[in-house]
Chain A
Amino acid sequence: MTRPQPDTLRIQARLERPGFALDVDTAFPLEGVTALFGRSGCGKTTLLRIIAGLEHPPGGEVHFRDTAWQSGKTFVPLHRRRVGLVFQESTLLPHLSVRGNLLYGYKRTPEPLRRLHLDEVARLLGIDDLLERRADQLSGGQRQRVALGRALLTSPDLLLLDEPLNALDTQTKREIMPFLARLSEETGIPSLLVTHAPDEVERLATRVAFMHDGQLERLEPLRDALARADSPLFRDEGAVSVLQGELGPADEHGLHPFGPPEARYRVPSTPGATNGAGRQARLRIDARDVSIALSPPQDVSILNIIPVTIESLDEAPGHHGPARVLAVCRQDDGQTLMAELTQLSTERLGLQPGTRAHALVKAVAFLD
Protein backbone atom coordinates (compact mmCIF):
# COMPACT_ATOMS: atom_id res chain seq x y z
CA MET A 1 0.00 0.00 0.00
CA THR A 2 1.21 3.47 -0.76
CA ARG A 3 1.61 6.02 1.95
CA PRO A 4 -0.78 8.96 1.64
CA GLN A 5 0.94 12.25 1.02
CA PRO A 6 -0.12 15.70 2.08
CA ASP A 7 -1.68 18.05 -0.43
CA THR A 8 -2.44 15.43 -2.99
CA LEU A 9 -5.53 13.48 -3.77
CA ARG A 10 -4.45 9.87 -4.16
CA ILE A 11 -6.73 7.40 -5.88
CA GLN A 12 -6.17 3.78 -6.58
CA ALA A 13 -9.19 1.95 -7.91
CA ARG A 14 -10.29 -0.80 -10.23
CA LEU A 15 -13.86 -1.10 -11.33
CA GLU A 16 -15.38 -3.55 -13.77
CA ARG A 17 -18.62 -2.89 -15.57
CA PRO A 18 -20.02 -4.73 -18.57
CA GLY A 19 -17.96 -3.48 -21.51
CA PHE A 20 -15.91 -1.13 -19.40
CA ALA A 21 -13.06 -1.34 -16.92
CA LEU A 22 -11.51 1.46 -14.94
CA ASP A 23 -8.02 1.02 -13.58
CA VAL A 24 -6.47 4.10 -12.05
CA ASP A 25 -3.58 4.68 -9.68
CA THR A 26 -2.62 8.31 -9.48
CA ALA A 27 -2.17 11.38 -7.34
CA PHE A 28 -3.52 14.81 -8.21
CA PRO A 29 -1.87 17.88 -6.71
CA LEU A 30 -4.48 19.83 -4.74
CA GLU A 31 -3.84 23.16 -6.32
CA GLY A 32 -5.63 25.02 -9.11
CA VAL A 33 -7.79 23.27 -11.65
CA THR A 34 -7.03 19.73 -12.79
CA ALA A 35 -8.90 18.81 -15.96
CA LEU A 36 -9.89 15.19 -16.54
CA PHE A 37 -9.96 15.10 -20.30
CA GLY A 38 -11.11 12.29 -22.55
CA ARG A 39 -13.86 11.07 -24.83
CA SER A 40 -17.21 10.09 -23.38
CA GLY A 41 -17.09 6.62 -21.94
CA CYS A 42 -13.42 6.81 -21.02
CA GLY A 43 -14.21 6.68 -17.31
CA LYS A 44 -13.65 10.25 -16.26
CA THR A 45 -17.07 10.65 -14.67
CA THR A 46 -16.69 7.28 -12.94
CA LEU A 47 -13.37 8.43 -11.53
CA LEU A 48 -15.04 11.60 -10.27
CA ARG A 49 -17.81 9.56 -8.65
CA ILE A 50 -15.25 7.39 -6.88
CA ILE A 51 -13.59 10.52 -5.52
CA ALA A 52 -16.98 11.81 -4.35
CA GLY A 53 -17.83 8.49 -2.71
CA LEU A 54 -20.77 7.87 -5.04
CA GLU A 55 -19.06 4.72 -6.28
CA HIS A 56 -17.48 2.34 -3.85
CA PRO A 57 -15.11 0.03 -5.74
CA PRO A 58 -14.00 -2.83 -3.48
CA GLY A 59 -10.35 -2.60 -2.53
CA GLY A 60 -10.08 0.98 -3.75
CA GLU A 61 -8.09 3.65 -1.97
CA VAL A 62 -8.90 7.36 -1.88
CA HIS A 63 -6.80 9.65 0.27
CA PHE A 64 -7.42 13.36 0.50
CA ARG A 65 -4.33 15.06 1.95
CA ASP A 66 -3.69 12.83 4.98
CA THR A 67 -7.32 11.79 5.45
CA ALA A 68 -8.43 8.38 4.22
CA TRP A 69 -11.75 8.77 2.40
CA GLN A 70 -11.69 5.16 1.36
CA SER A 71 -9.19 2.62 2.57
CA GLY A 72 -9.82 -0.97 3.64
CA LYS A 73 -12.91 -0.84 5.84
CA THR A 74 -12.85 2.93 6.08
CA PHE A 75 -15.40 4.65 3.90
CA VAL A 76 -16.32 8.27 4.45
CA PRO A 77 -19.77 8.96 2.95
CA LEU A 78 -20.22 11.85 0.56
CA HIS A 79 -21.89 14.13 3.09
CA ARG A 80 -18.80 13.97 5.31
CA ARG A 81 -16.19 14.46 2.59
CA ARG A 82 -16.75 18.19 2.24
CA VAL A 83 -16.64 18.20 -1.56
CA GLY A 84 -18.68 20.49 -3.78
CA LEU A 85 -20.40 18.79 -6.71
CA VAL A 86 -21.65 20.43 -9.89
CA PHE A 87 -23.15 18.31 -12.65
CA GLN A 88 -23.88 19.14 -16.26
CA GLU A 89 -27.65 19.22 -15.95
CA SER A 90 -29.55 21.49 -13.64
CA THR A 91 -29.69 20.04 -10.16
CA LEU A 92 -31.31 22.87 -8.26
CA LEU A 93 -33.86 21.68 -5.76
CA PRO A 94 -37.13 22.78 -7.37
CA HIS A 95 -39.05 23.16 -4.13
CA LEU A 96 -36.61 25.78 -2.84
CA SER A 97 -35.94 29.35 -3.92
CA VAL A 98 -32.53 30.38 -5.22
CA ARG A 99 -31.69 31.57 -1.72
CA GLY A 100 -32.95 28.29 -0.27
CA ASN A 101 -30.76 26.36 -2.68
CA LEU A 102 -27.72 28.50 -1.96
CA LEU A 103 -28.13 28.18 1.80
CA TYR A 104 -28.98 24.45 1.82
CA GLY A 105 -25.35 23.45 2.18
CA TYR A 106 -24.28 26.59 4.04
CA LYS A 107 -26.66 25.80 6.89
CA ARG A 108 -25.26 22.29 7.10
CA THR A 109 -21.66 23.48 7.23
CA PRO A 110 -20.29 23.79 10.78
CA GLU A 111 -19.82 27.46 11.58
CA PRO A 112 -16.04 27.42 12.11
CA LEU A 113 -15.60 25.87 8.64
CA ARG A 114 -17.58 28.53 6.79
CA ARG A 115 -15.08 30.58 4.86
CA LEU A 116 -17.36 31.81 2.08
CA HIS A 117 -20.59 33.64 2.71
CA LEU A 118 -23.74 34.36 0.75
CA ASP A 119 -22.98 37.99 -0.12
CA GLU A 120 -19.54 37.44 -1.56
CA VAL A 121 -20.46 34.27 -3.44
CA ALA A 122 -23.58 35.89 -4.91
CA ARG A 123 -21.45 38.83 -6.00
CA LEU A 124 -18.68 36.61 -7.41
CA LEU A 125 -21.21 34.74 -9.52
CA GLY A 126 -23.43 37.69 -10.37
CA ILE A 127 -26.56 36.18 -8.88
CA ASP A 128 -27.38 38.85 -6.25
CA ASP A 129 -30.58 39.80 -8.06
CA LEU A 130 -31.92 36.28 -8.37
CA LEU A 131 -32.07 35.28 -4.71
CA GLU A 132 -35.85 35.38 -4.32
CA ARG A 133 -36.62 33.66 -7.62
CA ARG A 134 -37.81 30.10 -7.84
CA ALA A 135 -35.34 27.63 -9.25
CA ASP A 136 -37.49 26.97 -12.32
CA GLN A 137 -37.57 30.65 -13.27
CA LEU A 138 -33.89 30.74 -14.14
CA SER A 139 -32.12 30.39 -17.46
CA GLY A 140 -29.67 27.55 -17.99
CA GLY A 141 -26.67 29.72 -17.33
CA GLN A 142 -28.17 31.24 -14.20
CA ARG A 143 -29.01 27.78 -12.91
CA GLN A 144 -25.43 26.59 -13.32
CA ARG A 145 -24.12 29.66 -11.54
CA VAL A 146 -26.49 29.05 -8.64
CA ALA A 147 -25.43 25.38 -8.55
CA LEU A 148 -21.82 26.51 -8.43
CA GLY A 149 -22.57 29.04 -5.70
CA ARG A 150 -24.44 26.45 -3.69
CA ALA A 151 -21.41 24.15 -3.82
CA LEU A 152 -19.06 27.00 -2.90
CA LEU A 153 -21.16 27.99 0.11
CA THR A 154 -20.28 24.72 1.83
CA SER A 155 -16.69 26.06 1.75
CA PRO A 156 -15.62 22.71 0.29
CA ASP A 157 -12.11 21.29 0.46
CA LEU A 158 -12.43 20.19 -3.15
CA LEU A 159 -14.72 21.05 -6.04
CA LEU A 160 -15.77 18.30 -8.44
CA LEU A 161 -17.17 19.67 -11.68
CA ASP A 162 -18.68 17.10 -14.04
CA GLU A 163 -18.96 18.79 -17.43
CA PRO A 164 -20.66 21.83 -15.88
CA LEU A 165 -20.79 23.67 -19.21
CA ASN A 166 -21.81 20.78 -21.40
CA ALA A 167 -25.56 21.38 -21.44
CA LEU A 168 -25.19 25.09 -22.21
CA ASP A 169 -25.23 26.86 -25.54
CA THR A 170 -22.12 28.68 -26.74
CA GLN A 171 -23.37 32.08 -25.67
CA THR A 172 -24.22 30.93 -22.12
CA LYS A 173 -20.96 29.04 -21.92
CA ARG A 174 -19.12 32.24 -22.71
CA GLU A 175 -21.09 33.96 -19.95
CA ILE A 176 -20.11 31.40 -17.32
CA MET A 177 -16.48 30.75 -18.28
CA PRO A 178 -15.13 33.90 -16.62
CA PHE A 179 -16.78 32.93 -13.32
CA LEU A 180 -15.24 29.47 -13.46
CA ALA A 181 -11.88 30.90 -14.42
CA ARG A 182 -11.88 33.27 -11.43
CA LEU A 183 -13.08 30.61 -9.06
CA SER A 184 -9.96 28.74 -8.09
CA GLU A 185 -7.94 31.93 -8.01
CA GLU A 186 -10.34 33.83 -5.77
CA THR A 187 -11.39 31.02 -3.45
CA GLY A 188 -8.22 28.92 -3.39
CA ILE A 189 -10.34 25.77 -3.59
CA PRO A 190 -8.72 23.09 -5.74
CA SER A 191 -11.00 21.58 -8.34
CA LEU A 192 -11.29 18.63 -10.68
CA LEU A 193 -13.02 19.44 -13.96
CA VAL A 194 -14.34 16.61 -16.10
CA THR A 195 -14.60 17.72 -19.70
CA HIS A 196 -14.23 16.62 -23.30
CA ALA A 197 -13.98 20.17 -24.66
CA PRO A 198 -10.42 21.33 -25.45
CA ASP A 199 -11.39 25.00 -25.12
CA GLU A 200 -12.51 24.48 -21.53
CA VAL A 201 -9.19 22.86 -20.72
CA GLU A 202 -7.20 25.61 -22.43
CA ARG A 203 -9.15 28.25 -20.63
CA LEU A 204 -9.55 26.83 -17.15
CA ALA A 205 -7.02 24.14 -16.40
CA THR A 206 -3.77 24.32 -14.51
CA ARG A 207 -2.93 20.76 -15.49
CA VAL A 208 -4.54 18.01 -17.53
CA ALA A 209 -5.09 14.33 -16.86
CA PHE A 210 -5.67 12.52 -20.13
CA MET A 211 -7.94 9.53 -19.82
CA HIS A 212 -8.46 6.78 -22.35
CA ASP A 213 -10.31 3.47 -22.04
CA GLY A 214 -10.52 3.56 -18.27
CA GLN A 215 -6.85 4.42 -17.84
CA LEU A 216 -5.19 7.64 -16.86
CA GLU A 217 -2.59 7.97 -19.59
CA ARG A 218 -0.80 11.09 -18.55
CA LEU A 219 -0.94 13.90 -16.02
CA GLU A 220 0.93 17.01 -17.07
CA PRO A 221 0.85 20.80 -16.72
CA LEU A 222 -1.34 22.51 -19.28
CA ARG A 223 1.71 24.20 -20.79
CA ASP A 224 3.30 20.83 -21.55
CA ALA A 225 0.04 19.40 -22.86
CA LEU A 226 -0.14 22.29 -25.31
CA ALA A 227 3.49 22.02 -26.37
CA ARG A 228 3.40 18.64 -28.06
CA ALA A 229 2.00 17.93 -31.48
CA ASP A 230 0.42 14.63 -30.42
CA SER A 231 -1.57 16.19 -27.59
CA PRO A 232 -5.07 14.65 -27.34
CA LEU A 233 -6.32 18.22 -26.95
CA PHE A 234 -5.64 18.76 -30.66
CA ARG A 235 -7.15 15.52 -31.90
CA ASP A 236 -10.48 16.89 -33.06
CA GLU A 237 -10.11 20.58 -33.68
CA GLY A 238 -6.45 20.88 -34.59
CA ALA A 239 -3.54 22.40 -32.75
CA VAL A 240 -3.68 25.64 -30.78
CA SER A 241 -1.25 27.62 -28.69
CA VAL A 242 -2.14 29.23 -25.41
CA LEU A 243 0.14 32.07 -24.40
CA GLN A 244 0.25 33.63 -20.98
CA GLY A 245 1.43 37.13 -20.44
CA GLU A 246 0.76 40.58 -19.13
CA LEU A 247 -1.59 42.88 -20.97
CA GLY A 248 -0.52 46.53 -21.21
CA PRO A 249 -2.62 49.70 -21.62
CA ALA A 250 -4.21 50.42 -25.01
CA ASP A 251 -2.26 52.56 -27.45
CA GLU A 252 -3.73 55.26 -29.73
CA HIS A 253 -5.04 52.54 -32.09
CA GLY A 254 -6.87 50.75 -29.30
CA LEU A 255 -4.39 47.91 -29.34
CA HIS A 256 -2.90 46.43 -26.18
CA PRO A 257 0.67 45.18 -25.96
CA PHE A 258 0.83 41.61 -24.70
CA GLY A 259 3.84 39.67 -23.51
CA PRO A 260 7.51 40.62 -23.01
CA PRO A 261 9.42 42.74 -25.59
CA GLU A 262 11.09 39.71 -27.20
CA ALA A 263 7.68 38.22 -28.01
CA ARG A 264 5.43 41.25 -28.09
CA TYR A 265 1.93 40.99 -29.55
CA ARG A 266 -0.47 43.84 -30.20
CA VAL A 267 -4.02 42.75 -29.67
CA PRO A 268 -7.38 44.45 -29.91
CA SER A 269 -9.52 44.45 -26.79
CA THR A 270 -12.66 42.42 -27.03
CA PRO A 271 -15.88 44.04 -25.90
CA GLY A 272 -17.33 42.55 -22.76
CA ALA A 273 -14.11 40.91 -21.68
CA THR A 274 -12.67 42.29 -18.47
CA ASN A 275 -9.31 42.93 -20.02
CA GLY A 276 -8.10 45.85 -17.97
CA ALA A 277 -4.48 46.75 -18.48
CA GLY A 278 -1.74 45.30 -16.32
CA ARG A 279 -3.37 41.97 -15.71
CA GLN A 280 -2.39 38.47 -16.60
CA ALA A 281 -4.21 37.14 -19.64
CA ARG A 282 -4.30 34.04 -21.80
CA LEU A 283 -4.29 34.27 -25.59
CA ARG A 284 -5.47 31.42 -27.74
CA ILE A 285 -3.97 31.11 -31.21
CA ASP A 286 -5.13 28.56 -33.74
CA ALA A 287 -2.16 26.89 -35.46
CA ARG A 288 -3.92 27.41 -38.80
CA ASP A 289 -3.76 31.17 -38.24
CA VAL A 290 0.03 31.13 -38.00
CA SER A 291 2.31 31.28 -41.06
CA ILE A 292 6.08 31.06 -41.17
CA ALA A 293 8.49 33.41 -42.99
CA LEU A 294 12.27 33.05 -43.02
CA SER A 295 12.87 36.82 -43.05
CA PRO A 296 10.62 39.45 -41.47
CA PRO A 297 8.17 40.52 -44.18
CA GLN A 298 7.80 44.27 -44.70
CA ASP A 299 4.66 44.87 -46.71
CA VAL A 300 2.12 42.78 -44.91
CA SER A 301 -1.10 43.58 -43.09
CA ILE A 302 -0.39 41.16 -40.28
CA LEU A 303 0.53 43.04 -37.08
CA ASN A 304 1.99 40.27 -35.03
CA ILE A 305 5.28 38.99 -36.34
CA ILE A 306 7.15 37.07 -33.69
CA PRO A 307 10.71 35.73 -33.95
CA VAL A 308 10.81 32.02 -33.23
CA THR A 309 13.03 28.96 -33.43
CA ILE A 310 11.58 25.83 -35.00
CA GLU A 311 11.71 23.03 -32.48
CA SER A 312 10.15 20.15 -34.32
CA LEU A 313 8.10 19.32 -37.38
CA ASP A 314 5.40 16.71 -37.02
CA GLU A 315 2.37 15.54 -38.87
CA ALA A 316 -0.48 17.84 -37.98
CA PRO A 317 -3.30 16.26 -35.94
CA GLY A 318 -6.98 16.51 -36.76
CA HIS A 319 -6.67 16.14 -40.53
CA HIS A 320 -7.83 13.55 -42.94
CA GLY A 321 -6.93 15.29 -46.22
CA PRO A 322 -3.45 15.88 -47.66
CA ALA A 323 -0.72 15.75 -45.07
CA ARG A 324 -0.03 18.96 -43.23
CA VAL A 325 2.88 19.78 -40.99
CA LEU A 326 2.69 21.10 -37.48
CA ALA A 327 5.70 23.26 -36.70
CA VAL A 328 6.28 23.54 -32.99
CA CYS A 329 8.08 26.86 -32.54
CA ARG A 330 9.78 28.33 -29.48
CA GLN A 331 9.28 32.03 -28.92
CA ASP A 332 12.22 33.94 -27.46
CA ASP A 333 10.35 34.18 -24.14
CA GLY A 334 10.28 30.38 -23.96
CA GLN A 335 6.59 29.89 -24.74
CA THR A 336 5.45 27.54 -27.47
CA LEU A 337 3.71 28.69 -30.64
CA MET A 338 2.28 26.18 -33.10
CA ALA A 339 2.05 26.80 -36.85
CA GLU A 340 0.25 24.55 -39.27
CA LEU A 341 1.83 24.48 -42.74
CA THR A 342 1.51 22.49 -45.90
CA GLN A 343 4.12 19.89 -46.72
CA LEU A 344 4.98 21.92 -49.78
CA SER A 345 5.80 25.16 -47.93
CA THR A 346 7.82 23.26 -45.37
CA GLU A 347 9.99 21.82 -48.12
CA ARG A 348 10.18 25.05 -50.08
CA LEU A 349 11.38 26.99 -47.01
CA GLY A 350 13.69 24.16 -46.03
CA LEU A 351 12.44 24.23 -42.46
CA GLN A 352 14.41 22.11 -40.01
CA PRO A 353 14.48 21.84 -36.24
CA GLY A 354 16.68 24.74 -35.16
CA THR A 355 15.75 27.06 -38.04
CA ARG A 356 15.29 30.70 -37.02
CA ALA A 357 12.11 32.09 -38.52
CA HIS A 358 9.30 34.59 -38.08
CA ALA A 359 5.82 33.55 -37.14
CA LEU A 360 3.04 35.59 -38.74
CA VAL A 361 0.06 35.49 -36.41
CA LYS A 362 -3.13 36.36 -38.19
CA ALA A 363 -5.69 36.09 -35.40
CA VAL A 364 -5.70 35.81 -31.65
CA ALA A 365 -8.49 35.33 -29.16
CA PHE A 366 -8.61 36.11 -25.48
CA LEU A 367 -9.29 33.25 -23.17
CA ASP A 368 -10.17 35.50 -20.24
Chain B
Amino acid sequence: MFDLSPTDWMAIEVTLKLALYTTLILLVIATPIAWWLANGRGSPGVRTAVQALVALPLVLPPTVLGFYLLVLLGPAGPVGSTLESWGLNHLAFTFQGILIGSVIYSLPFAVQPLQQAFANLGRRPVEIAGSLGAGRIDRFVTVILPMTRGGFIVAATLAFAHTLGEFGVILMLGGAIPGETQVLSILIYDHAEAMDFDSAHRLSFGLLVFAFAVLFIVYAINRRFDTVRL
Protein backbone atom coordinates (compact mmCIF):
# COMPACT_ATOMS: atom_id res chain seq x y z
CA MET B 1 0.00 0.00 0.00
CA PHE B 2 2.69 2.48 0.95
CA ASP B 3 5.44 1.62 -1.49
CA LEU B 4 5.29 4.96 -3.21
CA SER B 5 7.70 5.83 -5.99
CA PRO B 6 10.02 8.85 -5.77
CA THR B 7 7.74 10.56 -8.30
CA ASP B 8 4.77 9.95 -5.99
CA TRP B 9 6.66 11.44 -3.04
CA MET B 10 7.65 14.45 -5.07
CA ALA B 11 4.04 15.00 -6.11
CA ILE B 12 2.95 14.77 -2.47
CA GLU B 13 5.55 17.34 -1.50
CA VAL B 14 4.56 19.72 -4.30
CA THR B 15 0.88 19.33 -3.45
CA LEU B 16 1.32 20.02 0.27
CA LYS B 17 3.64 22.95 -0.41
CA LEU B 18 1.17 24.39 -2.90
CA ALA B 19 -1.78 23.99 -0.54
CA LEU B 20 0.09 25.47 2.41
CA TYR B 21 1.42 28.50 0.52
CA THR B 22 -1.94 29.09 -1.13
CA THR B 23 -3.68 29.04 2.25
CA LEU B 24 -1.20 31.45 3.83
CA ILE B 25 -1.33 33.87 0.92
CA LEU B 26 -5.13 33.68 0.78
CA LEU B 27 -5.53 34.48 4.47
CA VAL B 28 -3.50 37.63 3.95
CA ILE B 29 -5.33 38.67 0.77
CA ALA B 30 -8.84 37.50 1.59
CA THR B 31 -9.08 39.18 5.02
CA PRO B 32 -9.09 42.80 3.81
CA ILE B 33 -11.26 41.94 0.79
CA ALA B 34 -13.79 40.16 3.00
CA TRP B 35 -13.80 43.01 5.55
CA TRP B 36 -14.38 45.56 2.85
CA LEU B 37 -17.16 43.47 1.31
CA ALA B 38 -18.84 42.96 4.68
CA ASN B 39 -18.41 46.29 6.43
CA GLY B 40 -16.66 48.66 4.06
CA ARG B 41 -17.85 51.98 2.79
CA GLY B 42 -18.01 52.94 -0.86
CA SER B 43 -20.52 52.53 -3.61
CA PRO B 44 -22.70 49.40 -3.54
CA GLY B 45 -22.17 48.99 -7.28
CA VAL B 46 -18.42 48.63 -6.94
CA ARG B 47 -18.88 46.25 -4.05
CA THR B 48 -21.27 44.06 -6.02
CA ALA B 49 -18.81 43.96 -8.93
CA VAL B 50 -15.98 42.89 -6.63
CA GLN B 51 -18.21 40.29 -5.03
CA ALA B 52 -19.03 38.84 -8.45
CA LEU B 53 -15.38 38.91 -9.48
CA VAL B 54 -14.36 37.02 -6.34
CA ALA B 55 -17.05 34.41 -6.96
CA LEU B 56 -16.11 33.86 -10.63
CA PRO B 57 -13.85 30.83 -9.98
CA LEU B 58 -16.89 29.07 -8.48
CA VAL B 59 -18.71 28.97 -11.80
CA LEU B 60 -15.99 29.16 -14.44
CA PRO B 61 -14.57 25.87 -15.74
CA PRO B 62 -11.06 25.68 -14.28
CA THR B 63 -9.75 25.26 -17.79
CA VAL B 64 -10.99 28.75 -18.71
CA LEU B 65 -9.18 30.26 -15.75
CA GLY B 66 -6.09 28.17 -16.49
CA PHE B 67 -6.17 29.16 -20.14
CA TYR B 68 -6.26 32.90 -19.45
CA LEU B 69 -3.58 32.61 -16.80
CA LEU B 70 -1.44 30.71 -19.27
CA VAL B 71 -1.89 33.47 -21.82
CA LEU B 72 -1.25 36.14 -19.22
CA LEU B 73 1.74 34.61 -17.46
CA GLY B 74 3.32 32.88 -20.46
CA PRO B 75 6.24 34.26 -22.46
CA ALA B 76 3.96 36.09 -24.91
CA GLY B 77 1.53 37.39 -22.28
CA PRO B 78 1.70 40.88 -20.74
CA VAL B 79 2.88 39.64 -17.34
CA GLY B 80 5.22 36.97 -18.66
CA SER B 81 6.85 39.23 -21.25
CA THR B 82 7.28 42.04 -18.74
CA LEU B 83 9.01 39.64 -16.36
CA GLU B 84 11.28 38.48 -19.15
CA SER B 85 12.15 42.05 -20.13
CA TRP B 86 13.32 42.51 -16.53
CA GLY B 87 15.57 39.50 -16.94
CA LEU B 88 13.26 37.17 -14.98
CA ASN B 89 11.51 34.03 -16.18
CA HIS B 90 7.91 33.92 -17.30
CA LEU B 91 5.59 31.97 -15.01
CA ALA B 92 3.95 29.37 -17.23
CA PHE B 93 4.88 25.81 -16.19
CA THR B 94 6.47 26.97 -12.91
CA PHE B 95 5.57 26.47 -9.26
CA GLN B 96 5.04 30.23 -8.85
CA GLY B 97 2.66 30.11 -11.79
CA ILE B 98 0.46 27.37 -10.37
CA LEU B 99 0.63 29.10 -6.96
CA ILE B 100 -0.87 32.24 -8.52
CA GLY B 101 -3.47 30.08 -10.24
CA SER B 102 -4.35 28.32 -6.97
CA VAL B 103 -4.69 31.57 -5.08
CA ILE B 104 -7.13 32.95 -7.63
CA TYR B 105 -8.98 29.66 -7.98
CA SER B 106 -9.51 29.25 -4.21
CA LEU B 107 -10.17 32.92 -3.48
CA PRO B 108 -13.95 32.57 -3.04
CA PHE B 109 -13.45 29.71 -0.59
CA ALA B 110 -11.42 31.98 1.66
CA VAL B 111 -13.35 35.21 1.13
CA GLN B 112 -16.87 33.93 1.62
CA PRO B 113 -16.56 32.38 5.11
CA LEU B 114 -14.61 35.41 6.29
CA GLN B 115 -17.12 37.81 4.78
CA GLN B 116 -19.92 35.93 6.53
CA ALA B 117 -18.05 36.03 9.84
CA PHE B 118 -17.29 39.75 9.51
CA ALA B 119 -20.87 40.56 8.54
CA ASN B 120 -22.10 38.72 11.65
CA LEU B 121 -19.57 40.59 13.75
CA GLY B 122 -20.64 43.98 12.41
CA ARG B 123 -18.77 47.21 12.87
CA ARG B 124 -19.84 47.80 16.45
CA PRO B 125 -17.16 45.81 18.34
CA VAL B 126 -14.50 47.52 16.26
CA GLU B 127 -15.98 50.94 16.97
CA ILE B 128 -16.06 50.14 20.66
CA ALA B 129 -12.44 48.97 20.63
CA GLY B 130 -11.54 52.18 18.81
CA SER B 131 -13.24 54.27 21.47
CA LEU B 132 -11.21 52.36 24.05
CA GLY B 133 -7.99 53.50 22.40
CA ALA B 134 -7.16 50.51 20.21
CA GLY B 135 -5.61 51.31 16.83
CA ARG B 136 -6.16 49.41 13.60
CA ILE B 137 -3.82 46.46 14.11
CA ASP B 138 -4.58 46.26 17.82
CA ARG B 139 -8.31 46.00 16.98
CA PHE B 140 -7.67 43.27 14.45
CA VAL B 141 -5.59 41.16 16.83
CA THR B 142 -7.58 41.66 20.03
CA VAL B 143 -11.15 41.92 18.74
CA ILE B 144 -11.72 40.81 15.16
CA LEU B 145 -9.47 37.74 15.21
CA PRO B 146 -10.74 36.21 18.46
CA MET B 147 -14.37 37.00 17.66
CA THR B 148 -14.27 35.53 14.15
CA ARG B 149 -11.88 32.66 14.82
CA GLY B 150 -14.38 30.16 13.45
CA GLY B 151 -14.54 32.00 10.13
CA PHE B 152 -10.75 31.95 9.82
CA ILE B 153 -10.60 28.22 10.57
CA VAL B 154 -13.24 27.44 7.96
CA ALA B 155 -11.62 29.76 5.40
CA ALA B 156 -8.18 28.21 5.89
CA THR B 157 -9.53 24.67 5.74
CA LEU B 158 -11.57 25.22 2.63
CA ALA B 159 -8.71 27.00 0.87
CA PHE B 160 -6.30 24.18 1.81
CA ALA B 161 -8.65 21.35 0.90
CA HIS B 162 -9.79 23.01 -2.30
CA THR B 163 -6.18 23.44 -3.42
CA LEU B 164 -5.52 19.74 -2.74
CA GLY B 165 -8.29 18.90 -5.17
CA GLU B 166 -7.26 21.34 -7.86
CA PHE B 167 -6.80 19.89 -11.33
CA GLY B 168 -7.91 21.90 -14.33
CA VAL B 169 -6.05 25.13 -13.65
CA ILE B 170 -2.80 23.29 -12.97
CA LEU B 171 -3.24 21.08 -16.01
CA MET B 172 -3.54 24.14 -18.24
CA LEU B 173 -0.96 26.32 -16.55
CA GLY B 174 1.58 24.00 -15.03
CA GLY B 175 1.68 20.83 -17.02
CA ALA B 176 3.23 17.98 -15.08
CA ILE B 177 6.84 18.74 -14.32
CA PRO B 178 7.87 16.42 -11.46
CA GLY B 179 9.02 18.32 -8.39
CA GLU B 180 7.81 21.60 -9.87
CA THR B 181 4.21 21.48 -11.04
CA GLN B 182 3.21 17.83 -10.89
CA VAL B 183 0.67 17.68 -8.08
CA LEU B 184 -1.15 14.58 -6.85
CA SER B 185 -4.32 15.08 -8.87
CA ILE B 186 -2.29 15.39 -12.08
CA LEU B 187 -0.14 12.39 -11.22
CA ILE B 188 -3.21 10.28 -10.50
CA TYR B 189 -4.57 11.27 -13.89
CA ASP B 190 -1.25 10.36 -15.52
CA HIS B 191 -1.16 6.97 -13.71
CA ALA B 192 -4.69 6.22 -14.86
CA GLU B 193 -3.95 7.29 -18.41
CA ALA B 194 -1.00 4.92 -18.38
CA MET B 195 -3.34 2.13 -17.15
CA ASP B 196 -1.32 1.94 -13.89
CA PHE B 197 -4.46 1.59 -11.76
CA ASP B 198 -2.59 0.32 -8.69
CA SER B 199 -0.51 3.50 -8.41
CA ALA B 200 -3.57 5.65 -9.14
CA HIS B 201 -5.49 3.84 -6.44
CA ARG B 202 -2.75 4.16 -3.84
CA LEU B 203 -2.59 7.92 -4.29
CA SER B 204 -6.34 8.41 -4.67
CA PHE B 205 -7.14 6.51 -1.53
CA GLY B 206 -4.43 8.32 0.39
CA LEU B 207 -5.79 11.66 -0.75
CA LEU B 208 -9.34 10.63 0.18
CA VAL B 209 -8.34 9.61 3.70
CA PHE B 210 -6.18 12.69 4.19
CA ALA B 211 -8.86 15.12 3.00
CA PHE B 212 -11.44 13.50 5.26
CA ALA B 213 -9.08 13.58 8.24
CA VAL B 214 -8.25 17.26 7.75
CA LEU B 215 -11.91 18.25 7.47
CA PHE B 216 -12.86 16.08 10.44
CA ILE B 217 -10.22 17.52 12.73
CA VAL B 218 -10.93 21.09 11.74
CA TYR B 219 -14.68 20.85 12.11
CA ALA B 220 -14.19 19.14 15.47
CA ILE B 221 -11.98 21.99 16.64
CA ASN B 222 -14.40 24.53 15.27
CA ARG B 223 -17.32 22.93 17.04
CA ARG B 224 -15.46 23.02 20.34
CA PHE B 225 -14.71 26.72 19.92
CA ASP B 226 -18.30 27.38 19.06
CA THR B 227 -19.66 25.70 22.12
CA VAL B 228 -17.08 27.20 24.46
CA ARG B 229 -17.56 30.72 23.19
CA LEU B 230 -21.07 31.10 22.07
List residues of chain A with CB under 8 Å of any chain B CB. Answer: 52, 54, 77-79, 82-85, 87, 89, 91, 93-95, 104-105, 108-109, 136, 150-151, 154
Contact = CB atoms under 8 A, between A and B. Distances in A.
Contacts of B138: 108
Interface stretch (B18-26, B128-136, B158-166, B201-209): B128-136
B131 A151 contact: yes
A85 B146 CA distance: 22
B147 A79 contact: no
A78 B131 contact: yes
Interface string B117-131: 000000011011111
B143 A93 contact: yes
A205 to B, nearest CB: 22
28 contacts: A52-B127, A78-B127, A79-B129, A79-B130, A79-B131, A79-B132, A79-B134, A83-B131, A85-B127, A85-B128, A85-B131, A87-B124, A91-B125, A93-B143, A93-B147, A94-B147, A95-B146, A95-B147, A95-B229, A104-B134, A105-B131, A108-B133, A108-B138, A109-B133, A136-B230, A154-B131, A154-B132, A154-B133
B125 A93 contact: yes
Interface string B131-163: 111110010001100110000000000000000
A108 B129 CA distance: 10
A52 B130 CA distance: 10
A150 B147 contact: no
Contacts of A77: 130, 135
A154 B130 CA distance: 11
Contacts, number: 56
B126 to A, nearest CB: 10
Scoring A104, A109, A150, A151 by chain B CB atoms within 10 A of each residue's CB, the highest score goes to A104
Given A94-B147, A95-B146, A95-B229, A104 B129 contact: yes
A147 to B, nearest CB: 8
Nearest to A100: B142
Q: Which of A79, A85, A109, A151 gathers most chain B CB within 10 Å? A: A79
Closest 3 CB pairs of A and B: A105-B132, A108-B133, A85-B131
Nearest to A108: B133
Nearest to A107: B133
A137 to B, nearest CB: 11
Of B124, B127, B135, B138, chain A has the most CB atoms within 10 Å of the CB of: B127
A89 B124 CA distance: 10
Nearest to B131: A85
A136 to B, nearest CB: 7
A118 to B, nearest CB: 14
Contacts of B230: 136
B196 to A, nearest CB: 52
Contacts of B132: 79, 104-105, 108, 150-151, 154
